[in-house]
Amino acid sequence: MTKKSVAYLLLGLALCTSIVWGIEQFSLTQAIELSTQAPDYGGAYKSKIVSTSAGILVVVYGDYVENEPSHYVFDAKSSSLRPARDVFITACDSANSDCSVKGNWSIPVNISNTALRSSMQSDWNGDGSRTDYHGDSDNPHIFASGSHVVVTWADKFCDSGTQRSVTYEEFGNREIAMSCLYAAHARDDFSTLADWTIDRLSDGSRDAKQDVSKGLSNGAWAITWQEDPLGLQPGEGEGPGEGSSGAKTSNGTDIWYTYSSNVSGAVADIGVWKTPVRVTNNQTGFGLPPDSSNPIRDAAGVAVEPDQIETGDVGASRANLGLVGGSNPPNAVIAYEETKGSAGANQGKFVRYHAFPYNAPPVTEIEKAGCIVSDPFEGARRARFVAQTNAGSASRIRFAIFWRQGLYDQGGPADIMLRVGYKTATAGSTGFRPADLDPPVDPDCYALDFTSAANLGNAAPLNLSSNTPGATAANLSDSSANNPLENARAHRAVLRGDDLYVGYIYSGDGVLADTTDQANYNFFVRRLDAATGAWGSPVNLSRYVYTGINVLEPRLVGMPGNGPGCTDPDNITIPENCQNQDVVIAAWGTETNVYQGETSNNLDIYITRTVDKAVTWEPVRVIANTNSKGESQLRPTPDGEKVFMVWNETASGKTDTMFSIATADTFTPVDDYESGSSCSVRMF
């Protein structure tokens, strides 16, 4: 063994001692493929899973429908041609059948059916000829609402007559159709196309992206997305990922919102969407920026005049949405990042948020401005939050909003910052108002412009990631300038009762980790006991000391509420339907850590669990260490004893949607980290 290996081993053993391990571990059923079709083109993409109130598992994913060049589209993220995708649904009744058996899943049904259709022609090859630009379904999103399921996605097929296109100079003058947004919903049976009602919610005159959809069992549903008048903007390669995600926007890009028409749950009314509205105020006029070089054309291929193209001073992007019960009507919360409009005086973005009755979106300019929760003089992005119907019984915690913030305007190292919302005895307090946040924000946080924002008196947010390996409560007050090299991202959270858990991946040197294989990222989780106000220190769950392995795509999942078999505590008919708030599931993917410009490869997915509010964690279990796996999605039963899992797995050039069931079982010690050893270190 080399001196370097010995050093890694000793460090790994030291890290092991910082975790107290439980006595159980997940056992996994044999993985099955859910996306296999005849023929199987192997283009599964962004698989997700939900469960209805009756226990029906529903999985959604994107996939190719054929591999003919005549139906190819240009993928801006990978800068390459590929077959067009559609959105597919498959379902299994977990309450009455064994979903680890592939035959118990329905035959996948194509609910978008646009990949072989075209709503406009364009010069998508960049060769001067205009041919059909085929429908292409983007990342699908899904939620379950009682016995209903709702799926949303952006698509290149927009039969509105007003669809536009953008020609990208940076992509060899390829002319790409703009996307519109779709929503589909079904109830009880999801196995045929006839079961689904499909609505187009935008017209493709602006490029739709980054949709988020949420719903409550009472029929309150909502969707947000962004629309860019100049089309999806290619990324600049300053951060992780392949770019073209919607993070970079044109001025005038707004966040749009729609909601369902009732809160009663009446079947006849559910799914009737209200006319979408802007919940931000960024579109202020018409015209093209002076540096615009990418022409906009209409559906007939005619150049659109500048006075018909929306613009403004700032652009909003990457919104997150939540619906929270406990009031009638329920509350909607939207958080997003927005450029500052500082005319170059201070680069980067703000994080803003709105909270309002779900059926009364913002109307006035000041309401649409949104409350700034970040430091106006730093770069803030990737806004996320968690909320709960009932405030914590001891602490009254109901809401937490968190984001990345640092000295750099994009792509550079940043910390995870957080504010917590408490529902107090103060008149009008909900836990979501700016006045309910701690650390507090300026009462005038709805700043309309950068000049107003620069004068805000927001207290500094809590810094959750500063000095992560050795952090104590004292580090919560650190500024991002305390250590400008460390980097935290991929933040996740769970809020249950008086307990808030926040997870993120972290490297002590973000620049080194992002550009070389000499530093890497691990997955850390820390807990706030809101009843006492005490923050625990970050716990490293992944423990990779070998820097050739990176952690990515972490998951942190709390248990869903009680199911139908646990509505009466004195008459429990299905114990697994009873929520256990002490359980949190953690999972993460891994990849090879490579030098900038090289291609990394997905490796394995890992899963663990705490059953005692993060006092201990169960030994880590790998999900079959073969092939390339990524983007896991988890759906646990309320008691936390079983987890239904999907992920994307690539082998022999094809990617499929895979499924397995993880069930808690007594832990048998083994001497292999990948099989769940409590104290060994993966060395390769």
pLDDT digits (tens, 9 = 90+) for 546-580: 999 999 999 999 999 998 999 888 899 999 999 99
pLDDT at 681 over 50: no
Please tell me whether the overall predicted TM-score, pTM, comes out greater than 0.85 for this model.
Answer: yes
> What's the confidence (pLDDT) of residue 245?
81
> What's the confidence (pLDDT) of residue 623?
84
Residue 630: helix, strand or coil by DSSP? strand
* Residue spans per domain, the chain: 53-284+295-300
Do 612 and 639 contact (CB within 8 A), yes or no?
no
pLDDT digits (tens, 9 = 90+) for 423-437: 999 999 999 999 999
Residue 638 CB coordination number (10 Å): 23
pLDDT digits (tens, 9 = 90+) for 9-42: 434 433 444 566 556 788 899 999 999 876 788 8
Distance CA 421, CA 558 (A): 19
Do 295 and 166 contact (CB within 8 A), yes or no?
yes
Supply φ then ψ for residue 479, to 5 degrees: -85, 165
- CA distances to 15, 225, 279, 623 from 368, rounded to whole Å, are 47, 15, 5, 45
Q: What share of the chain is helix, strand, coil (3-state, %, to 5)?
A: 10, 40, 50
Strand partners, 212: 224
Distance CA 518, CA 510 (A): 11
DSSP summary character for residue 371: E
pLDDT digits (tens, 9 = 90+) for 56-85: 999 999 999 988 888 899 998 888 999 999
Confidence at 684, pLDDT banded by 50, 70, 90: very low
DSSP summary character for residue 273: B
Do 640 and 583 contact (CB within 8 A), yes or no?
yes
Distance CA 363, CA 496 (A): 32
Do 617 and 541 contact (CB within 8 A), yes or no?
yes
Percent of the chain, pLDDT > 70?
90
pLDDT at 96 over 90: yes
Cβ neighbors of 82 (< 8 A, separation 6 or more) are 43, 64, 72, 73, 75
How far does Cα 303 stand from its chain's mean position? 35
Residue 502 CB coordination number (10 Å): 26
Supply φ then ψ for residue 422, to 5 degrees: -120, 135
Which one is predicted more confidently, 39 or 511?
511
Do 616 and 32 contact (CB within 8 A), yes or no?
no
Number of H helices, E strands in the chain: 4, 44
> What's the confidence (pLDDT) of residue 78?
85
Question: What value does the mean pLDDT of the chain take?
Answer: 90
**CA–CA–CA angle 534, 539, 545 (5° rounding):** 155
How far does Cα 345 stand from its chain's mean position? 31
> What's the confidence (pLDDT) of residue 38?
64
- CA distances to 56, 149, 251 from 142, rounded to whole Å, are 14, 7, 29
Distance CA 455, CA 422 (A): 25
- CA distances to 260, 326, 335, 382, 402 from 329, rounded to whole Å, are 12, 8, 20, 28, 25
Closest CA to 207 of 160, 239, 269, 253: 253
> What's the confidence (pLDDT) of residue 225?
98
- CA distances to 74, 225, 363, 493, 586 from 356, rounded to whole Å, are 39, 17, 11, 22, 31
Mean pLDDT of all residues in 627-654: 91
- CA distances to 185, 461, 465, 492, 573 from 402, rounded to whole Å, are 31, 9, 11, 9, 38
Residue 175: helix, strand or coil by DSSP? strand
Distance CA 90, CA 44 (A): 13
